[in-house]
A = this chain, B = another copy of it.
Amino acid sequence: MTTNGLQHRQTEIPEEINGLRMTRQRQEVYRFLMGERTHPTANEVFISIKEALPHVSLATVYNCLEALVQHKIIRQVNFDREPSRYCPNLDEHGHFHDETTGTIHDIKFKPGINLTDILDLPPNTVIKDIEITLRGQLA
């Protein structure tokens, strides 16, 4: 007895975000990332959304993640050359990689801090993206 053609699941996701059409696959990828704050890898996303979409392929997960990143709906986070991780937090922030547990924590900047203020940039530099990653341990 659905009242419309859309199946309504846990979270409603609009048909379009930032100009990107939210297909069923993109919705599942995005929904999972919104609920998971652990910065999952593409493979972890894949395994998880297979519950809802048993026929989804890993290539599609990569496609979806790339589309979501390109449209600034999520962020891609890289630690050294480990598999990329994905993050739905769009606020400007860094990432702390706790070596003992392997967990990743979002790191906010203290209020009033502007990253470009403290960097000695060459003149006429247009910054498109900043990434700050920290590695260490939570003693």
A interface residues (Cβ-Cβ under 8 A, vs B): 76, 78, 80-81, 84, 94, 96, 99, 105, 107-110, 113, 117-122, 124-139
Check if A138 sits within 8 Å of B125, measured CB to CB: yes
List 27 interface pairs A-B (beta carbons < 8 Å), by A numbering: A78-B81, A81-B81, A81-B84, A94-B119, A96-B121, A96-B122, A96-B127, A99-B128, A107-B119, A107-B120, A108-B120, A110-B118, A110-B120, A113-B118, A121-B134, A125-B136, A125-B137, A125-B139, A126-B136, A126-B137, A126-B138, A127-B136, A128-B137, A129-B135, A130-B132, A130-B134, A131-B133
Check if B96 sits within 8 Å of A125, measured CB to CB: yes
Check if B110 sits within 8 Å of A119, measured CB to CB: yes
Contacts of A96 in B (CB 8 A): 121-122, 125, 127
